[in-house]
C-alpha cells in the first residue's frame, strides 16, 4: 500500500494503572471509509481522540503522512471530528455554525459564503441558512455538524457514533448519505460504532476492537465470512459456534459426526471452534439432512423465520428458514461444506492472515485444476 495517511506504532494509553489501549498498530490509507467497531469500553473513542489530538498516548508513535504528530496540538492536525451530541453552537444560526471555523481563520466573506453554500448543498440543507439550531430536527442538526466539520477541508473526518441518537429509518438514510459524501469528497472517514450492521453496510475496511486491542481488521466480507475467533464470530452477526476436532483429509468432527470441509490447513486432532451462520442452514427432510435436529421455537421476522432447534448431541442451533417449521418436529439440517468456517483457538492475527492466504491459494489451484 502507498504511504498510510495515519499510522499507529505500538500506541498504548493508560490512566494510572488502568490500561485502556494495549500497543495498537494500525494503518489508514487515504480516501477510504474506515470503521472502528467494538463493544462499549473497548477503546474506539480513545483511538479517535488520539488521532484528533485530544488525548496524549502513554507510549508509541502516531504518524500523519509519515510524520510523527504525537505532540502536535489538535488545531494543527488536518482532521476534524463530528461528535455524537453534535456540539453545535446554540446561539448561532445554521450559516454561522458552518462558517465558524473559517471565520476564526480570518477567511474572506465571499469565500465563506461560497463554502457554506457548497457544504449545505452536500448535506441537503440548502435554504436553511437562517434557521436557529433549536428549530431543527435531530437529523438536521447532525447534518449541520457534518457540514461544519467538512467546511474546514480536513483530510480526515472522524465520526464518533454520529448516528446513534437517530431513529432507525433516519439512521439508515444517513448511513447511505455519509457513504455518498465520503465517495464524493474522496477524503478519509474514520467512523466509530458499536453497531455491526452499520459497520458492515458502510465500510471499506473495519477494525474490530475488544478490551483495548484491535482483534481483527479487514473488509466487511472478510470479517463476516472468516471471523478470527469466538469474540468476533459472536459480535458480528448471528452465529452457531460449536466445539470441533480436525480430522485427516479435510474432515472436521462436530455435533457427534464428521463433515467434509474446505477450510483446510489444519492439524489432525486439533481442537477448534466451528462457525455456521444461521442463513447458511436449511431445514430439509430427516433423511436428506447432514444432522437431525428437533425444532424448539420459531419467530416470524418479516422475510424469514428464525428457528431454534437442538441436535442429538444437545447443541443449540439458530436457523433462518424461508418456511415455518413445527415445534417438536425432527428435521434434517443441511449446509454446504464451504460454509463451515474453522477457527483455531488462540490464533494470532498474523497466523490467521497467513492461513487465510494459504486457503485462498488452495482454492485458486483447485479452480485451475478443474479447467
Would strands 188-193 and 33-37 be described as parallel, antiparallel, or unpaired?
parallel
| Cα separation, 329 vs 277, whole angstroms | 22
Q: Does 18 bind ligand ATP (CB under 6 A)?
A: yes
Of 44 and 331, nearer to ligand ATP (C-beta) is 44
Q: Does 154 bind ligand ATP (CB under 6 A)?
A: no
Of 98 and 159, nearer to ligand ATP (C-beta) is 159
Q: Does 300 bind ligand ATP (CB under 6 A)?
A: no
Q: Does 40 bind ligand ATP (CB under 6 A)?
A: yes
Q: Does 43 bind ligand ATP (CB under 6 A)?
A: yes
Axis crossing angle, helix 138-150 with helix 109-122, rounded to the nearest 10: 130
Q: Does 93 bind ligand ATP (CB under 6 A)?
A: no
Q: Tell me which residue has cell 466451528.
A: 274
Q: Does 15 bind ligand ATP (CB under 6 A)?
A: yes
Half-sphere exposure of residue 304: CA atoms within 13 angstroms, side-chain side: 14
Q: How far is the CB of 165 from ligand ATP (least distance, A)?
A: 13
Q: Does 20 bind ligand ATP (CB under 6 A)?
A: yes
Q: Does 331 bind ligand ATP (CB under 6 A)?
A: no
Among 26, 34, 37, 44, binds ligand ATP (CB under 6 A): 44
Q: Does 17 bind ligand ATP (CB under 6 A)?
A: no
Q: Does 168 bind ligand ATP (CB under 6 A)?
A: no
* CA dihedral over 319, 324, 327, 332, signed as positive or negative: negative
Widest Cα–Cα separation across the chain: 78
CA distances from 7 to 45, 101, 258 (A): 16, 26, 45
Q: Does 42 bind ligand ATP (CB under 6 A)?
A: yes
Q: How many other β-carbons are positioned within 10 Å of the β-carbon of residue 362?
A: 14
Of 204 and 213, nearer to ligand ATP (C-beta) is 213
Q: Does 227 bind ligand ATP (CB under 6 A)?
A: no
Q: How far is the CB of 62 from ligand ATP (least distance, A)?
A: 15
Q: Return phi, psi of residue 286, to 5°.
A: -55, -35
x/- track of binding to ligand ATP for residues 175-214 (CB under 6 A): -------------------x--------------------
Q: Tell me which residue has cell 486439533.
A: 270
The DSSP secondary structure of 74-93, one letter per residue, reads: GGGSSEEEE-TT----TTSB
Binding site for ligand ATP (CB under 6 A): 15, 18, 20, 38, 40-46, 194
Amino acid at each position: 500500500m502507498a504511504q498510510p495517511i495515519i499510522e499507529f506504532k505500538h500506541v498504548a494509553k493508560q490512566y494510572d494503572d488502568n490500561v485502556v489501549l494495549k500497543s495498537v498498530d494500525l494503518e489508514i490509507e487515504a480516501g477510504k471509509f474506515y470503521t472502528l467497531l467494538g463493544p462499549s469500553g473497548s477503546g474506539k473513542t480513545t483511538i479517535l481522540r488520539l488521532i484528533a489530538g485530544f488525548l496524549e498516548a502513554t507510549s508509541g508513535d502516531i504518524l500523519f503522512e509519515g510524520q510523527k504528530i504525537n505532540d502536535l496540538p489538535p488545531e494543527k492536525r488536518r482532521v476534524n471530528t463530528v461528535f455524537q451530541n453534535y456540539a453545535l453552537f446554540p446561539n448561532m444560526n445554521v450559516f454561522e455554525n458552518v462558517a465558524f471555523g473559517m471565520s476564526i481563520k480570518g477567511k474572506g466573506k465571499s469565500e465563506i459564503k461560497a463554502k457554506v453554500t457548497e457544504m449545505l448543498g452536500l448535506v441537503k440543507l440548502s435554504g436553511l441558512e437562517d434557521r436557529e439550531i433549536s428549530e431543527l430536527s435531530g437529523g438536521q442538526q447532525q447534518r449541520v455538524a457534518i457540514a461544519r466539520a467538512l467546511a474546514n477541508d480536513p483530510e480526515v473526518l472522524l465520526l464518533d457514533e454520529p448516528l446513534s441518537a437517530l431513529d432507525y429509518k433516519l439512521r439508515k438514510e444517513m448511513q447511505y448519505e455519509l457513504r455518498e459524501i465520503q465517495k464524493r469528497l474522496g477524503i478519509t472517514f474514520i467512523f466509530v460504532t458499536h453497531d455491526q450492521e452499520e459497520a458492515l453496510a458502510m465500510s471499506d475496511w473495519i477494525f474490530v476492537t475488544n478490551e483495548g486491542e484491535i482483534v481483527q481488521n479487514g473488509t466487511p466480507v472478510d470479517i463476516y465470512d472468516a471471523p478470527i475467533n469466538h469474540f468476533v464470530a459472536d459480535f458480528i452477526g448471528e452465529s452457531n459456534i460449536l466445539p470441533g476436532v480436525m480430522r485427516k483429509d479435510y474432515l472436521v468432527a462436530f455435533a457427534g459426526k464428521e463433515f467434509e470441509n474446505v477450510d483446510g490447513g489444519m492439524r489432525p486432532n486439533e481442537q477448534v471452534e466451528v462457525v455456521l451462520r444461521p442463513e447458511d442452514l436449511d431445514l430439509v427432510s430427516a433423511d436428506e439432512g447432514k444432522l437431525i435436529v428437533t425444532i424448539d421455537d420459531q419467530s416470524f421476522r418479516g422475510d424469514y423465520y428464525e428457528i431454534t432447534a437442538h441436535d442429538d448431541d444437545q447443541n443449540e442451533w439458530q436457523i433462518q428458514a424461508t418456511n415455518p417449521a413445527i415445534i417438536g418436529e425432527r428435521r434434517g439440517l443441511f449446509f454446504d461444506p464451504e460454509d463451515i468456517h474453522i477457527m483455531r483457538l488462540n490464533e494470532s492475527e498474523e497466523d490467521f492472515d497467513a492461513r487465510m492466504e494459504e486457503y485462498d491459494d488452495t482454492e485458486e489451484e483447485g479452480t485451475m485444476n478443474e479447467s
